[in-house]
Chain A
Amino acid sequence: EAGVTQFPSHSVIEKGQTVTLRCDPISGHDNLYWYRRVMGKEIKFLLHFVKESKQDESGMPNNRFLAERTGGTYSTLKVQPAELEDSGVYFCASSQTLNTEAFFGQGTRLTVV
């Protein structure tokens, strides 16, 4: 069974540009989460989808971040326009139900220069 996969693994963009990260959850997992780790700090929650609906987006930093999960399968996280402080590793995780463990992808390392 394939795990959670994220694309790309690395992205380097200039300040002001747009970047879109993609996450493919484990097949059949209704719950999808986005997290971010800024260097040296804790992994922080961004938002949670149940199927195609946003269940909790309390961790989204500001309106430059837009997450979508059309059709309830894969999800994208767009940052527009990117700022220097957006640099970090973005993780996606998925779980089958609300009460089962979350499995993480390998992350996308975003560097804004």
Chain B
Amino acid sequence: GENVEQHPSTLSVQEGDSAVIKCTYSDSASNYFPWYKQELGKGPQLIIDIRSNVGEKKDQRIAVTLNKTAKHFSLHITETQPEDSAVYFCAASPRGSTLGRLYFGRGTQLTVWP
């Protein structure tokens, strides 16, 4: 089955700096890559996703890039704010699977210091 690796496990940045979280996947047939943000006491919330026919997608301060050849994708957060502090999960869904059938990375605890 699919295997998703996520790095780093923890990340601390100063407010205003950028943060980058990287993930790799093993199944070249995977074609849907969402990113979820989990705040304390809440469930994972989808913040951005990308499909395999696209190399980059942006939504305000967040962006995701996908390199299908290298089988890795990254989350970029610019101008970080304290409210960006949370656990971020990357995930992959294999081709032919429902988009809710996800293989997750282990998560990255992002802390943004004011």
Interface of A is mostly: strand
Interface size bracket, A side: 20 to 34
CB interface residues, B 19-34, toward A, < 8 Å: 34
CB interface residues, B 71-114, toward A, < 8 Å: 89, 91, 98-107
How many A-B pairs have beta carbons closer than 8 Å: the answer is 64
| A48 B44 Cβ-Cβ under 8 A | no
A95 interface residue (CB < 8 Å to B): yes
For residue B79, give the distance in angstroms from its CB to the closest CB of chain A.
Answer: 25
Q: Mark A87-103, 1 if CB is under 8 A from B, else 0.
A: 00001011100111111
Q: Could you tell me the distance between the alpha carbons of A95 and B98 in the complex, rounded to whole angstroms?
A: 9
Please list the residues of chain A having a beta carbon within 8 angstroms of any beta carbon in chain B. Answer: 4, 6, 31, 33, 35, 40-45, 48, 55-56, 91, 93-95, 98-107
Please list the residues of chain B having a beta carbon within 8 angstroms of any beta carbon in chain A. Answer: 4, 34, 36, 41-46, 49, 89, 91, 98-107
